[in-house]
Amino acid sequence: MSGESTYTPANGFSRWLDARLPVLRLVNDSFVDYPTPKNLNYWWTFGAILSLCLAVQIVTGIVLAMHYVPTTELAFASVEHIMRDVNYGWLIRYVHANGASMFFIAVYIHMFRGLYYGSYKAPREVLWILGVLIYLLMMATAFFGYVLPWGQMSFWGATVITNLFGAIPLVGESLRTWLWGGFSVGDPTLNRFFSLHYLFPFLIAGVVILHVWALHVTGQGNPAGVEIKDPKKDTVPFTPYATIKDGFGMALFLILFAYFVFYNPNGLGEPDNYIVANPLSTPAHIVPEWYLLPFYAILRAVPDKLGGVVLMFGAIAILFVLPWLDTSKVRSARFRPLYRQFFWIFVAVCLGLGYCGGQPTDKILIHVGEGGFDVTDLSRILTTYYFLHFLVLFPVLGLVEKTKPLPASIAESVLPHGKATS
């Protein structure tokens, strides 16, 4: 898509097609001859891994939808029917359920890769924003999907999340009733969540196409963070180099995937979701799926209903403006000695928030006399740091940091000293 097309139709049919619908040219220029920076490391294989995750979720999801019944009477039973009676239903459902977790593992690695190597900086702001949009759609899709089995966690997760909208001043309560299609989470809610759960993956697929389009307009970033100067020296063709590397990355990723599906299929889930939804009894320990825990911790850290909701959504919304918060001209953390340290602190803070989100709020971590330092206190400190990282560190670091010298080109960054110029 960037640069001249190098496609030459090989035979009569492809010449005929190329003059009418140049789809083979598009594939060739995007995934075959596409110039790929030659210094990409394995962190760059997660784009392909994520495409695989999306495909797996859509394929397994379509089959599950053939056997699932979206009514409060039959939803739970139909999921058990899938597990017990449908041929390989257990496999399809476990792949789908664990696939969601795998999708999030991959997307978090992909996003942290972007943060470490400054992938969001000019001219890739739109590429980044589309990525954040995909992430938001993924969270919505995962939430809708989690409600469908109609277990205890499904029901109470749906109740809590939809009630978040009730915190909005003036219109909150009406909005909540509209979302529910009634006066509490019930049949209409389950039905529309099923409809939306089927729709959203295709929205994701649409935004993924825009994401890849934007990627191929600006060209891929790379670990050195310098742009391609001479495509002959700095790049290799996508096929076979990136295809093979992505394929290898996917194979490794599938080993992890298979471990969960075959050896620990419920390890990432909550046992309470195997109890049918009961609107009169909230489980004693209610937690969302692991990939939403950091945001859950932020929600609980704020002692105010609206404030908590605002900060929770703000924690994601802030990613949209990140390209303009970061003042550093240097992309890669390799050449930013200070940012590199703060990056890892930030990773630890996110993991810490995830830990807090999974613990009871009043669990005491450090005992002091009667009380002590509890999970809420830790959540508050980490939440504050999370926002400071974006609002203070990103703008300030770029101004005060003394960066290391950048390599003259991608070729120079990968070749031993003295070879690049010869």
Partner 1 sequence: MRHRTEEEIATANAVDVSALPDPQTDDQRVIAGPSGELERQWLVVIGICTHLGCVPLSYKGEYDGYFCPCHGSVYDTSGRIRKGPAPLNLEVPPYAFLSDTRIKIG
Q: Which residues bind partner 1 (CB under 8 A)?
A: 156, 159-160, 163-164, 166, 184, 280-286, 299-300, 302-305, 308, 360-362, 376
Residue with smaller CB distance to partner 1, 136 or 160: 160
Residue with smaller CB distance to partner 1, 192 or 305: 305
Q: How far is the CB of 121 from partner 1 (least distance, A)?
A: 37
Q: Half-sphere exposure of residue 173, counting CA atoms within 13 Å on the CB side?
A: 2
Residue with smaller CB distance to partner 1, 269 or 288: 288
Instruction: Please report, in angstroms and rounded to a whole number, the separation of the first and last CA atoms in the chain.
Output: 31
Residue with smaller CB distance to partner 1, 139 or 286: 286
Dist CA 381 CA 394 (whole Å) = 18
Q: How far is the CB of 376 from partner 1 (least distance, A)?
A: 8
Q: How far is the CB of 359 from partner 1 (least distance, A)?
A: 11
Residues 6+ apart with CB under 8 A from 65: 198
For 236, the enclosing helix (H) or strand (E) is strand 235-237
DSSP secondary structure letter of residue 260: H
Q: How far is the CB of 285 from partner 1 (least distance, A)?
A: 6
Q: How far is the CB of 195 from partner 1 (least distance, A)?
A: 23
Residue with smaller CB distance to partner 1, 166 or 237: 166
Residue with smaller CB distance to partner 1, 166 or 181: 166
Residue with smaller CB distance to partner 1, 190 or 299: 299
Shortest CA distance to 76 belongs to which of 153, 4, 3, 138?
153
Dist CA 361 CA 245 (whole Å) = 44
Residue with smaller CB distance to partner 1, 85 or 173: 173
Residue with smaller CB distance to partner 1, 306 or 338: 306
Dist CA 72 CA 385 (whole Å) = 42
Residue with smaller CB distance to partner 1, 382 or 414: 382
DSSP per residue, 337-400: HHHHHHHHHHHHHHHHHHHHHHS-TT-EEEEETTEEEEHHHHHHHHHHHHHHIIIIIHHHHHHH
DSSP secondary structure letter of residue 235: E
User: Rounded to 5 degrees, what are φ and ψ at 176?
Assistant: -65, -45
Shortest CA distance to 113 belongs to which of 174, 30, 40?
40
User: Do residues 219 and 189 lie in contact, with contact meaning Cβ atoms separated by under 8 Å?
Assistant: no
Instruction: Report the amino acid identity of residue 14.
Output: S
What are the structure tokens assigned to 244, written together? Answer: 């093979």
Residue with smaller CB distance to partner 1, 188 or 247: 188
Residue with tokens 């700095």: 234
Q: How far is the CB of 361 from partner 1 (least distance, A)?
A: 4
- Give whole-number Cα distances, 314 to 123, 299, 368, 418, in Å: 24, 11, 33, 48
Other beta carbons within 10 angstroms of residue 98's beta carbon come to 24
Shortest CA distance to 238 belongs to which of 220, 254, 226?
220
Q: How far is the CB of 374 from partner 1 (least distance, A)?
A: 10
Q: Is the dihedral of CA 342, 103, 39, 231 positive or negative?
A: negative
What 3-state class would DSSP assign to 151? strand
Q: How far is the CB of 357 from partner 1 (least distance, A)?
A: 11
* Bond preceding residue 123 cis, omega within 30 of 0: yes
Dist CA 389 CA 325 (whole Å) = 10
Q: How far is the CB of 76 from partner 1 (least distance, A)?
A: 19
